[in-house]
Structure 1
């Protein structure tokens, strides 16, 4: 049984293995931890890959409903991954790291209070504030976004940073100059350092 678990959530039109470079970095940084990147529950509707919720005809007005409709499948998947590592009753040993649409779902999962985990890392996400908004105050959060992101504006991360800080969470936030919609080497380094520091306080 691993002493810690990091679950990586990929973006739309991708698969879990697309996060293998980040997974390799984290496995080296966190000896004894399991790092798992599952595929999203749904097939991408416009080509190969998977998705957490549909982007067809999505608008700012209907995005929240799309996310809410995706919660049961998301929660089933996360529950299965955690149970498979024997950590269902030890969520303080589990962290979520989401990129793009994966970050959107990770934010919703934790900010809604459904998943009170050890730590949350959000990379280049688009964030919809859930109702109720009840993030666990003991959960540190890292947000990273590229200033040149042409897919998701960095203002999304700035807004989420403000919301989480106002809710009393310890939030570290970075807008990386001249970085687009990607997990950059700097983003990987920030994630590695954040999780090493965060998990450092867990007795194993």
Structure 2
């Protein structure tokens, strides 16, 4: 069986260990799937941890430029992981992002740079500027708490609408009473989604 890889992409000011713990919990549901949880390539501006791009003086007007400037370092991080895992095709890779990591995951797909097996984006937003140009029909799951005080849940609702206009299959999970976090329900929905993306539904 062709090797499959899930890559976790953490939020700003955090590190790879923040999401890595999901791997052991999900592994029984995803037999034969490997997991990786890299640190973002840049040190966080305001303390320990890492960031995919700086939030200093960021605005809705300059966010897309920050995202685009971060692409080369992001892509280098992923290419290094694929090489280490001896995976030649991005179609065998699925990205799971949280917050800023979700922005990077969605941008990797929406910009057409990465033809992935799937994307799970928790508590994120689609900051990629139009036109969106995904290269394949990659399934997407957007999960967001309705009381998120960091990134409003409507950002994921907007992302779903934009991604659907490109023909991508998009699923959403909007949870009452959940803030800027990954809930137990969200994690369970995600692992089921990933299993389907990798054709492992018989293992559930």
Q: Confirm or deny a common fold (TM above 0.5).
A: yes
Query: 1:96-135, CA deviations, whole angstroms, 9 ceiling, x for partnerless residues?
Result: 1110000001111110000011111111002213354101
Q: Kindly indicate whether the alpha-carbon contact (under 8 Å) linking 1:2 and 1:85 is maintained by their aligned counterparts in 2.
A: no
Other-structure match for 1:126: 125
Residue 45 (structure 1) shift: 0.7
Other-structure match for 2:29: 29
Residue 2 (structure 1) shift: 7.0
Structure 2-normalised TM-score? 0.94
Query: 1:19-67, CA deviations, whole angstroms, 9 ceiling, x for partnerless residues?
Result: 1332222222211111100000000010110000000111111111111
Other-structure match for 1:78: 78
Q: Supply the distance in 1 between the matched residues of 2:31 and 2:200 (Cα, whole angstroms).
A: 15
Other-structure match for 2:19: 19
Give the 3-state SS of the residue equivalent to 1:173 in structure 2: strand
Other-structure match for 1:146: 145
Other-structure match for 2:177: 178
Q: Kindly indicate whether the alpha-carbon contact (under 8 Å) linking 2:160 and 2:170 is maintained by their aligned counterparts in 1.
A: yes
Which stretch of structure 1 is more off in the superposition, 68-77 or 14-23?
14-23
Q: Supply the distance in 2 between the matched residues of 1:94 and 1:105 (Cα, whole angstroms).
A: 15
Unpaired runs of 5+ residues, structure 1, are none
Residue 143 (structure 1) shift: 0.5
Unpaired runs of 5+ residues, structure 2, are none
Other-structure match for 1:187: 186
Residue 136 (structure 1) shift: 3.1
Q: Kindly indicate whether the alpha-carbon contact (under 8 Å) linking 1:116 and 1:139 is maintained by their aligned counterparts in 2.
A: yes
Other-structure match for 1:162: 161
Q: Supply the distance in 1 between the matched residues of 2:85 and 2:130 (Cα, whole angstroms).
A: 30
Please tell me whether residue 53 in structure 1 is matched to residue 25 in structure 2.
Answer: no
Residue 138 (structure 1) shift: 1.5
Q: Supply the distance in 2 between the matched residues of 1:57 and 1:64 (Cα, whole angstroms).
A: 13
Residue 201 (structure 1) shift: 6.4
Q: Supply the distance in 2 between the matched residues of 1:138 and 1:128 (Cα, whole angstroms).
A: 20
RMSD, matched Cα: 1.6
Which stretch of structure 1 is more off in the superposition, 178-187 or 122-131?
122-131
Q: Kindly indicate whether the alpha-carbon contact (under 8 Å) linking 2:67 and 2:128 is maintained by their aligned counterparts in 1.
A: no
